[in-house]
């Protein structure tokens, strides 16, 4: 594997996670592409240009380039409207891939050969599907979230957020993908059970965490550095503010911790999706109703590497998501030695060992979350045991390991006949 075209239509790996549609996928595309480039695989990432002052190409580091492809208005576009500009985006990517635009010269020639296309999310999968046939290249797909999984977890949000054709598009992409990457065994089963995907074409490649940034530290010092309360327990929520992520559960859980009225909750993230602003309003209303104005602190989305200080400052990280394909927040918190209390959904089932590295809750019940949090806060020995085990477990997850696993997968594709659409 020499060179890879990476598609990330709706969000740029250079964008700030936690704003708009940016989240764990931004981190995934950036960190995995970086690890691949450092392992010798040239990565060209194609994302939609959302401003007229963006450079056409950003050379992130040797072997990693991000191309801003014009498609639709040069302005932010809601994710649910992006399907209408996919043809224009595909034409732009196809032109760049076949012309060598944005690629440094190698002597007197431009290197234009690609070995595969890696699409992230269903919108990119639609583009990758067409590129596969136009260029006769293998297609690798990572979905990150699945329409039918979200429909089970939060149907009202799916209907508001995505066009009805998404599930059908996912089926078509699955049928034409040479490899489908799942982050964990739970997601692999969902692909088979809900979409009838061929299990022989599913590869489990877990994301990683950058242990150079995310590691244990001294909690009081982290709080002082961030200007957070030094006394009392501190809970943390990191993620986009939308119903699916369950911030309302975290706030209500704080309100139910009556024996810990000195506890605070720090929320890092911004509204996302069609219901983001409305959900933020609902959360603020709950904060006021519960009398928590002085104990809930909203923080703007932070540069990814700075999040580690917030994880280290917290006693417990809450991940009350109603659906989560993997759960990078839970992994990053664990790497920093912060016990996680999370919903038992998706990849969180593989990241959190219930009772050993944190706790899994079978529902989004604020009472259940509060009970697990209090259990940790009331037992210092338990808290230390959970923290230590979480750090140890997190060490198995690295971006270098994910990149190595992917390189093997890509190389195996070279010897296969391309999958034909069913």
Per residue in 96-128, pLDDT tens? 998 876 555 555 554 448 999 999 999 999 999
Q: 240 and 131, same structural domain?
A: no
Rounded Cα gap, residues 189 and 205, in angstroms: 14
| 134, 272: one domain | no
Residue 1: the pLDDT is 83
Task: Dig out the tokens for 140 from the structure.
Answer: 């690798």
Q: Are residues 130 and 108 in the same domain?
A: yes
Co-location of 198 and 236 in the same domain: no
Is 154 part of a structural domain of the chain? yes
Q: What is the pLDDT of residue 103?
A: 58
- Identify whether residues 242 and 183 lie together within a single domain: no
Residue 183 lies in a domain: yes
What is the per-residue pLDDT across 131-151, written as a single tens digit (0 to 9) for each? 999 999 999 999 998 998 877
Q: Do 95 and 21 sit in the same domain of this protein?
A: yes
pLDDT bucket at 352, cuts 50 / 70 / 90? very high
**How many domains does the chain fold into?**
2
Establish if 214 belongs to a structural domain: no
Asked if pLDDT for residue 343 goes beyond 60, the answer is: yes
One domain for residues 367 and 409: no
420: in domain: no
**Model pLDDT, residue 111:** 45
User: Does any domain span residue 385?
Assistant: yes
Residue 162 has pLDDT above 70, yes or no: no
Enter the tokens of residue 413: 């594709």
Q: Would you say residue 274 lies in a domain?
A: yes
pLDDT at 404 > cutoff 60: yes
Q: What is the mean pLDDT of residues 193-209?
A: 95
In a domain, 422, yes or no: no
Q: Residue 161: pLDDT above 70?
A: no
Residues 179 and 264 in one domain: no
**pLDDT given at position 202:** 97
Kindly give, in sequence order, each residue whose CB lies less than 8 Å from that of residue 128, ignoring residues fewer than 6 positions away: 7, 117, 118, 119, 139, 141, 173, 177
Q: What pLDDT is stored for residue 196 in this prediction?
A: 94
Same-domain check for residues 156 and 239? no
Q: What is the pLDDT of residues 19-62, one digit of tens each?
A: 555 677 889 999 999 999 999 999 999 999 999 899 999 999 99
pLDDT tens digits for range 233-243: 999 999 989 99
Q: What average pLDDT does the segment 73-100 reach?
A: 92
Same domain, 359 and 265: yes
| Residues 193 and 288 occupy one common structural domain | no
* Residue ranges making up the domain that contains 57: 3-208+399-414
pTM score, whole prediction: 0.90
Q: Are residues 386 and 407 in the same domain?
A: no
CATH at 27: 3.40.50.2000
**292 occurs within a structural domain:** yes
Express as a percent the part of the chain with pLDDT over 70. Answer: 92
């Amino acid at each position: 594997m020499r060179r890879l075209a990476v598609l990330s239509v709706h969000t740029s790996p250079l964008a700030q996670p936690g704003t708009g549609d940016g989240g764990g996928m931004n981190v995934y595309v950036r960190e995995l592409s970086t690890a691949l480039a450092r392992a010798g695989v040239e990565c060209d990432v194609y994302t939609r240009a959302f401003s007229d002052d963006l450079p056409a190409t950003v050379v992130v580091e040797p072997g990693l380039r991000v191309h801003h492809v014009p498609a639709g208005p040069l302005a932010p576009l809601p994710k649910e409207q992006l399907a209408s500009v996919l043809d224009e985006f595909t034409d732009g990517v196809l032109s760049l891939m076949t012309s060598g635009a944005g690629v440094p010269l190698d002597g007197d020639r431009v290197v234009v050969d690609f070995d595969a296309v890696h699409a992230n999310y269903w919108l990119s999968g639609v583009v990758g599907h067409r590129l596969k046939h136009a260029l006769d290249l293998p297609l690798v797909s990572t979905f990150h979230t699945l329409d039918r999984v979200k429909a089970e977890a939060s149907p009202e949000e799916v209907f508001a957020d995505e066009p009805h054709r998404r599930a059908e598009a996912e089926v078509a992409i699955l049928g034409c993908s040479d490899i489908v990457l799942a982050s964990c065994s739970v997601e692999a089963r969902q692909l088979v059970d809900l979409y009838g995907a061929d299990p022989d074409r599913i590869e489990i490649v877990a994301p990683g965490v950058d242990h150079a940034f995310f590691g244990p530290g001294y909690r009081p010092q982290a709080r002082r550095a961030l200007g957070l309360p030094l006394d009392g327990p501190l809970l943390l929520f990191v993620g986009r503010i939308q119903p699916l992520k369950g911030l309302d559960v975290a706030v209500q859980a704080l309100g139910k911790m009556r024996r810990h009225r000195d506890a605070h909750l720090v929320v890092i993230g911004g509204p996302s999706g069609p219901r983001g602003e409305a959900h933020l309003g609902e959360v603020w209303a709950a904060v006021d109703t519960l009398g928590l104005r002085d104990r809930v602190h909203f923080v703007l989305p932070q540069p990814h590497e700075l999040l580690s200080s917030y994880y280290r400052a917290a006693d417990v990280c809450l991940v009350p998501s109603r659906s989560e394909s993997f759960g990078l927040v839970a992994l990053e918190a664990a790497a920093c030695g912060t016990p996680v209390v999370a919903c038992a959904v998706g990849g969180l089932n593989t990241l959190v060992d219930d009772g050993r590295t944190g706790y899994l809750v079978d529902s989004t019940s604020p009472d259940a979350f509060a009970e697990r949090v209090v259990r940790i806060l009331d037992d210092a020995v338990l808290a230390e045991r959970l923290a230590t085990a979480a750090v140890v477990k997190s060490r198995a997850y690295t971006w270098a390991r994910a990149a190595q696993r992917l390189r093997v997968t890509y190389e195996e594709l070279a010897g296969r006949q391309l999958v034909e659409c069913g």
